[in-house]
Each structure stands twice: as C-alpha cells, then as structure tokens.
Amino acid sequence: MNLLHILRRLRVHRTWTYKGPLLMAGPYCVLAKSGAPAATAFAAVLGAMLTIIGIAGLAYLINDLSDRESDRAARKPNCTEGSKPASVALAALVLMLAALLPWFTILPFGRLPAALLGLELALFVVYALPPFRLKERGFLGPMTDAGYAYVIPAMLASMTFARIGGLEPGEINLLLLALVAWQLPLGLRNIILHQLDDEGNDAISTTRTWVRDLGRTRAMTVTSHVLVPLEIGGFFFFCAAIFGVSPGVLLLYPAFLGLTVLVIRHSWRRALPATLQQASILYLSDYYDEWIPVILLVTLVAIDLHHLPLLILHLAVFRKNAVRTVIREFGIVTARVRGLS
C-alpha cells in the first residue's frame, strides 16, 4: 500500500469539518482585537490551515497504527492496514512537514509555541502507543484526547495570532482562560459520546475505555449532568470574554436556537432531538462550527474591509458554515413550496 493510499484513507476531513472552523475562532477573535494587517492575517490563516491538516493527519495516523490489531478484530477501516512500515514512516514524515513548515516560514516561532507543539505531539504518542496507551487508562483517556484535540490547539492558535497582531501576552489571558473553560468539557463530551457510539466495536476488540469501565448509563449521566452544563457555562464565559470585540456571538445565539427548531420541525419535518448526542450537536456544536467563526469574521470585516478575502477563504474551504446552511435550508423550503404549487 503506497503513501497516497494511506493519506487518502486518513480521516482528516473529519477534523476539517468538525474541528477546523471552531479552532479558527480564537485566531479570529485575536485578529479583531489586534488590528493586524489584512495581508499578514491572510497569510497566517493559510499557514494555520496547513498546520491543522498536518497535525490532525499525524494524530489519526498514530492512532490507526496503534489500533491496527483491534480495528482488524472489529472489522473497522484502518489507514495503515496492509501498508509497509516504510510507507507509514513516509506518511508520518509528510504530515510532520505539513504541520511544522508554517512555523518556519509564516507563523512566529518561539519557546512557547515550540513547547505547546511538543506537548501536542507527545500527547498523541502517550494516548495511543504502548507502554503508555492512556486511551485505555480510565478517565486519563478522555482527558488526553480533549487536551490534544481541543485545549492545546485552541491555546496555541490564539497565542500565535496574538504575536502576529503585536498583542502583549497578558492582553489575551481572559480569552485563553475562557477557551480552556469551554474547550475542555466540549472535548470531553465529544470523546465520551464517541466511546458510547463505538462501545460495541471496543467490546469486540477488547479495547478498554472509560465508558466500558464505568458503564454506559453512568457515563451518560456524567456527560449530561456534569460535562454538558460545564460546557455551556464555558461557552457563555467565552461569549462574555469576547463581548467587547464581537457581541454578536452571544446576541445571535437565541436566534440560532429559534431557527434550528424551525428547521427541524418545518424543513426537516422531524421531532425535536430526543437524545443527548442529537441535542448537543444541533443546539451547541452546529453553532460552534458553523456560526461562530463566520460571525467573528463578519465582525473583522466590519472593522477593516480589507479582511473580506479572509471571510471568502473561510466560506470556500470550510464546508460547514452558516452561509452554506442557510442556502441549503432555503433551497429545501423553496423546493417544497414549488412542489405544493
């Protein structure tokens, strides 16, 4: 199996769709706060996007490499299945270069970014590979996943763009605190819901997870009664922290909730979500991924029209965004009206 085949089977599109847009929220906030030149900001965002692809791909590659036997037992797809060690090593090298190249060309590099990048890569290893394999060590698994998938990238991105915008370290402390308070429970919620979804496959492959150790019912109770309230509290803390820069993130959320209910009932013609997973996606994650980055970019364009290409870039490369959603739903409603006429 050659390099291109491995790269095609990596699940980077999942990060690009569901984490990439949200990861850019911190940088967009910092850009609006700092007033960085539009050309500099645009180039930095391109570099950040390449880094996202490289880091996400490397994480999936390491995870698949460590799970090859268990995935085979559960008959799950694995990008390294049937591949030669040389091909896997070459794929890792390509992804590492993609992750690090922007830091040596476009993005400012220093001790703190280097430390956070090193911690990020170290967490990939200790999460997936023996003898550490924190993935199978109780709650350390979800905590490590939330750390490398959400908290550290959010902090790294925001700190990097603060340096690009010429902000002093202390000027974004509140933003960083809010991001941690929000992203940590969000990351925990997502990995635990993933473990709940994958519980059957984990049982077949005898993979230990926190959900399997605790039990499905208790894991759901902890998620719904502890993690989701903490996530919502963290989200409103984030809204408060950036209110002076972009009040629209908070003020438009009730409108989003109302539109979501209308879409579910009248466009999709379905009942409102009955499960925690459905509700958390429709009422929370869709706003995070689709709406928040676009609202922040519109704010940035309102501050400086020269940032319009950045908004266009975001809408072009991230398929999950508010504009595409509105156009799609408008098309569905229009088609149904035409069908009734």
Return the domain boundaries, the chain: 3-244
- pLDDT value, residue 170: 85
User: How far is the C-alpha of 294 from the C-alpha of 28, rounded, in Å?
Assistant: 9
Q: Is the peptide bond before 131 cis (omega within 30 degrees of 0)?
A: yes
Q: Which CATH architecture does the domain made up of 3-244 adopt? A: Orthogonal Bundle (1.10)
- pLDDT value, residue 341: 53
- pLDDT value, residue 334: 63
Angle at 14 between CA 10 and CA 15, to 5 degrees: 95
- pLDDT value, residue 13: 73
In order along the chain (341 residues), what is the average pLDDT of each group of 10 residues? Answer: 74 77 92 91 95 90 87 82 86 92 90 90 92 93 95 94 88 95 97 92 88 94 96 97 95 94 85 89 94 95 95 89 72 59 53
End-to-end CA distance of the chain: give it in Å, rounded: 54
In the structure encoding, which two tokens stand for residue 315, read together? 């809408």
- pLDDT value, residue 336: 60
Non-local (6+) Cβ contacts of 307 within 8 A are: 31, 38, 41, 42, 297, 300, 301
- pLDDT value, residue 70: 84
